[in-house]
Structure formats: C-alpha cells, structure tokens
Amino acid sequence: VSPTLVPLVVALPLLTAAVLAAVAHLAHPRFDDLVAIAVSAAVTVCCVLLVFRSADGTIHYWFGGWKPRDGIAIGISFSVDPLAAGIAALAGVLATAALIVCWDYFEESVPQHCYVLMLVFLGAMVGFALSSDLFNMFVFFEVMSVAAFALTGYRIEQPSALQGAINFAVVNSIGAFMLLTGIALLYGRTGALNLAQIGQVLARDRPDGLVIVAFTLLVVGFLTKAGAVPFHFWLSDAYAVAPAPVCVLFAGVMSDLGLHAVARTYWDGFSGALGADAEALRAVLVGLGVLTALLGGVMAFVQSSLKRMLAFVVVSHVGLFLAAIGLLTARGLAGATVYVVADGLVKGALFCAVASLARRIGHTDELVSHGLGRAIPVTGSIFAACGLALAVVPPFGTFLAFSLVDRSAGAVGYGWLPAVLVAATALTGGAVLRATGRIFLGLGPRRDELLVEAPPGEEREVRPAPRAGALLWLPALLLLVAGLGLAFTPGLPGRAVQQAQQLVDRPAIARETLHGITSPTPPDVSFHPPGESYLYAALSVVAALGLAWCGLYWRRLPKRAAAVARRVAGGSLRRLELLHDGVVGEYVTWLTVGAATLGALFAVLIR
C-alpha cells in the first residue's frame, strides 16, 4: 500500500489554496477556477483509490513516522478504512461538481477567494473524515467551519447573508468549544488523544461521571455540526443565504461528517466503557434521530423557498442517519454510510439543479417561480428524479441503504423504526416533488397561504441569464446518475457490512492501531433487500406522491380535511416556524438546553 497517498489528499488542496491566494491575481481570470477543478478531481481520484486499497485492511498513516511504541501513541495518525475514504471521496466529487457549477454561476467575475475557500474547505473535510486523533479532528472541524462561515457570508452585500453567517459561526463555535472541553477532559483522564488509545484506557473501568460528561460534550459538538434537533437552528439560516454551489458541499457532506465523527468516536473510543449500557444509549440516539427526521420532514414540507426546503431535507436526513448509527450495530453503521454517500450525491445534484434554476430564472422560490421552469425541462427531470430518490425508490442507492437500516432495526428490537422513517422520506420526497410540479409543470395555484414565505432579501439569488449553459445542469445530472447508479456496484451492501463489522470491533482496532497486530478479515457477507423493504419503499414513494398532490391541491380535499390542514398550518406549524426566527441568542439557548438534557439523560440511563 503506498502510504504517501494518505497525507496527499489533505495536503494537496491546502497547499494549492495557499499558492492560489498568492499568485492567482497575476494569472488569467479563469486560471484559479481550472486549477481548483483539477485539484479537487485529483483528490477525488486519490480518495477512490484509497477506498479500494484499504479494503484489505485499514491503512494507518503516522505523520513523521512517529509510530506507537509499547502500545503508547504519541504521534498523530490518519486511519483510512473504506467507509471513511468513501465519505472523503464524496466530499471530493461534490467539490468538483460545485466548482464546475461556479464556472457559469456567478454573474460578475468571481474573486479568487471563492476557490481558495472551497479548496481549504475540501482539504479540511477530507482530513476530518480520515483523522483518528481527537485533537486533529477538532482542528479540522475548525478549519472546515471557518471556511464554511466565510463561504456562507460570501454575498457580502446582503444583510441576510451576513446574519446567516454569524448565526452559523456563533452556534458552531460554541459546539466546537464543547467538543474541545470534552477532549480536554478525556486527555486529563487517559493521557491520550489517539482514539484507539483513549478507548483502551476507558475500557478498563466502568464509566463514571467524567466519562459521561466528556461523551456528552463530544456528541453535542459533533451533532451541532450535523444539525440534529435541537442543535439545528443555524442550519436553515446558513443554507438559505449561502450561494447554491456552496450548498452542494454543505448539504451533501458537511452535515454528515458530524455523524461520521459520532460513529467513529463511539466505536473507537467509548464502546468499551459504554458497551454495557448500549441499550440505553441506543434509545437516546434513536429517539433523537427520529425527532430530527420528523421535525425536519415537516418543516421541509411547509417551505416555499427551495433552499430553506432543502436545508430542512438535510436536517431530516441527518435524523435518519443518526437513527441508523444510533442502532449501534455493524449493519446500521454500514447502512448509514451507504445512505450518506448515495443521499449526499442526490442532495448535491438537487443543489446543482437549484443553481441552474436560479441562473435561468433568477429565483429559487417555489411560488414566485410557478411554471417558469418549463423552459428548462432537463433541470426539471433532475428535480423529479431526486425527489423520488429521496423517497427511497427501489432499486437505487438510497433504497439499498434504507433496506440495510430496516433489517438492522428489526434485529435489535426496533421493528417500528422503518415505519417512522418512511414518514420522513415521504415528507422530504413529497416536498421536492411538489416544488417540481409547481415550478416545472405549472401545477397548483400561484399562491398558497399554508406555505412559509422566505424572509425578504433571501429570494434573489443571481441575475437571470438568457440561457442556462450545460456546465450548470451537467454536474447535477452526473451526480444524480452516480447517486442512483451506486446501487449497481456489485456486492456493495455486503462489503459495507463486512467493513463495518471490522469498525465496530474495538479491541481489534486498538490491537491493530497500537501494536500493529492485524486481525483476520471477517467472512464475506451478502445482502439482498427482503420483500418487506420493497413494501416500505413502495409505501414511501406512494406517500410522497400523495403528499405532493395534497400540497398542490389541498383546496380540492373534502372541506373538513382542508380545514384541518389550514388549522395545523396556522397553529402548531406556525409556532414551530417562529422558533427558527434568526435570533442567535435563542439558538444558543436551545443548544445549551439540548446539551443539558442529553447529558442528564445519559447520566440517568448509563450505569
């Protein structure tokens, strides 16, 4: 295995960003764009190579050759397994697509900072995905965050963009400080920053108060980035104002990285100490996931601004993944990872399509754009296909992943979980399908008092161009094809389960990381979705189409049903919407209350 590839995927984008920042103003205006696209494509290729190279065994890369001695790790390492490398590859693909969209997207010539920031963002995301050292995770978390804050506030002439960036920055920074406090406590207890070594020390004793506090702080820090309820309030403000190509990366991979970190921290670090209380932990994590999935789904369904709608789609699907990871099984982890990649490609395609729509008609609001999308049928078809993919239409990638989660839930006594998750996939798919019908087919009325209007100043995206170039919709199409086609990789779910089985075996990971003793690979697994999963998927697709129809034509429903819809939208949904009012102090209050509640739950249920 060529180990140089491992640091290269982080160093290449970071170094290029530095060079571009220094010299790009001397070169041709398109120079930095081309270099950035080339570099992110190269990172993607390297990450895909790493997926295959690490399939035979996790690659441990120790920076500067500081390998552990006598089981003590002083050096800093990247641990590359196929699942982590897969998420890094996802970041690479999405960054490439986003940069290609950027080429035609901005009306004025783009200052080079956009490309520099995108490359820094990419490097940090890849580093975060591969890092197995807690403090390095914190540093990459912060580098990723700072680049993301700056990209969110990129349209500096709009106060709403600045406000979105500030909300994002304040809430995420507090999350990061909680993370750092947790890391400091763990270091004080274990004397280690390497996750495997932390896991070894913690596994010796029953968990005490300090371990539970540290675990809570780490989980809250990562979930703030992921956007789980009630840490998600910043997310819709930030996504609504960030340029659409930037949202491709936000929605497709940034949120999911938070969950990847939760999984890695739990399995490598805490599963030895908290393993005896897995039942209680499972209840809390799955509960939080279900709450997030449903709240996000409902909120997505009532938005008329496409970007806010997709922001809540992201929240809802973060809930799905959290519930899947929270099952604390290898199959759940495998399902969540395949889901993250397939769904990330689809959400990336959706935001590319939003960019294409915005460039063509100048708006991203469903009601304002009523019927205007007829001129761009390709984008419309992409929207419709993405809506169906969100509603887990078989036999594509999202369906396979859903099926893995479904089987895993049944195995640990959570047989009711898939039925609840179907509600979330139907709501998010339905919301996108409704918007597709209204914008691209001109269905439904032009006004709808049940939908939440975007705050003024958010809806204008870019000045419309006479025609949308292929560079705008082609990346969307390619991402969609990749997202759907992922399912046809031979043996994908079986391999994912096999890899996940290795990742949840903490003692084996610790032996391998700290002592270099490799364990035998578990036997091949094959997985075929059972009939029951097809039933759930059919239910989800039918419900999504039904919800989309109801969203367009709720006035045609029987009088009583329409009255109920009106009452719900005007009452409880309105109150829910008012919570997302953009005041950062309130968001921080929710974050604090959420962290305290989660900590109290862990403290009561564990031990």
Partner 1 sequence: MSLLPYVLAVWIFAVGLYGIVTSRNLVHLVICLGVVQSSTYVLLLAIGYRTGKKAPIFTSGVPVKLGAVDSVVQALTLTDIVVAVTVAALLLALVIEIWKRAGTIDPDELREDRS
Residues that bind partner 1 (CB under 8 A): 135, 139, 142, 145-146, 149-150, 153, 156-160, 162-163, 165-166, 169-170, 173-174, 176-177, 180-181, 184-185, 187-188, 193, 455-457, 581-586, 588-589, 592
124 vs 143: CA distance, rounded Å: 6
Residues linked to residue 460 through DSSP beta bridges, in sequence order: 363
Q: Are 316 and 300 in contact (CB under 8 A)?
A: yes
Nearest to 223 by CA among 273, 278, 263: 263
Q: How far is the CB of 346 from partner 1 (least distance, A)?
A: 31
Q: How far is the CB of 492 from partner 1 (least distance, A)?
A: 38
CA 533 to chain centroid: 23
Output 542 or 593, the one with its CB closest to partner 1. 593
Q: How far is the CB of 198 from partner 1 (least distance, A)?
A: 14
Output 181 or 381, the one with its CB closest to partner 1. 181
Output 156 or 535, the one with its CB closest to partner 1. 156
Residue 372 tokens read as: 């205007």
Amino acid at 579: L
Output 177 or 416, the one with its CB closest to partner 1. 177
Output 56 or 586, the one with its CB closest to partner 1. 586
| Length of the chain in terms of residues written | 607
98 vs 197: CA distance, rounded Å: 38
What is the rounded radius of gyration, in angstroms, for the C-alpha atoms of the chain? 23
Residue position matching structure tokens 């719900």: 568
What is the DSSP annotation of 71-128?
A: TB--S-EEEE-HHHHHHHHHHHHHHHHHHHHHHHH-SSPPPTHHHHHHHHHHHHHHHH
Half-sphere exposure (Cβ direction) of 85: Cα atoms closer than 13 Å: 28
Residues linked to residue 133 through DSSP beta bridges, in sequence order: 194
Output 169 or 409, the one with its CB closest to partner 1. 169
Amino acid at 545: L
Q: How far is the CB of 291 from partner 1 (least distance, A)?
A: 23
Output 35 or 451, the one with its CB closest to partner 1. 451
Long-range contact pairs involving 440-446 (C-beta distance under 8 Å, separation at least 24) = 440/373, 440/374, 440/376, 440/377, 440/379, 440/380, 440/383, 440/384, 441/371, 441/374, 441/380, 442/370, 442/371, 442/374, 443/552, 444/370, 444/551, 444/552, 444/553, 445/552, 445/555, 446/367, 446/370
Residue 179 tokens read as: 């993370």
Q: Are 35 and 126 in contact (CB under 8 A)?
A: no
Q: How far is the CB of 151 from partner 1 (least distance, A)?
A: 11
Q: How far is the CB of 564 from partner 1 (least distance, A)?
A: 26
Q: How far is the CB of 431 from partner 1 (least distance, A)?
A: 23
Residues linked to residue 233 through DSSP beta bridges, in sequence order: none
Output 218 or 323, the one with its CB closest to partner 1. 218
Q: How far is the CB of 381 from partner 1 (least distance, A)?
A: 35
Q: Which residues of 349-380 are buried (b: 16+ CB within 10 A; e: fewer)?
A: bbbbbbbbbbbbbbbbbbbbbbebbeebebbb
Q: How far is the CB of 221 from partner 1 (least distance, A)?
A: 12
**How many C-beta atoms lie closer than 10 Å to residue 450's C-beta?**
17
Output 178 or 284, the one with its CB closest to partner 1. 178
Q: How far is the CB of 84 from partner 1 (least distance, A)?
A: 23
Helices (H) and strands (E) in the chain, counts: 25, 2
Output 36 or 176, the one with its CB closest to partner 1. 176
Task: Calculate ∠ Cα 473-106-157, nearest 5°.
Answer: 140
Output 156 or 411, the one with its CB closest to partner 1. 156
Q: How far is the CB of 173 from partner 1 (least distance, A)?
A: 6
Output 164 or 418, the one with its CB closest to partner 1. 164
Q: How far is the CB of 170 from partner 1 (least distance, A)?
A: 6
Q: How far is the CB of 591 from partner 1 (least distance, A)?
A: 9
Output 168 or 270, the one with its CB closest to partner 1. 168
The phi-psi region of residue 473 (left if phi > 0; otherwise alpha if psi is between -120 and 50; otherwise beta) is alpha
229 vs 295: CA distance, rounded Å: 8
Output 160 or 356, the one with its CB closest to partner 1. 160
175 vs 588: CA distance, rounded Å: 10
Amino acid at 104: D
Q: How far is the CB of 142 from partner 1 (least distance, A)?
A: 5
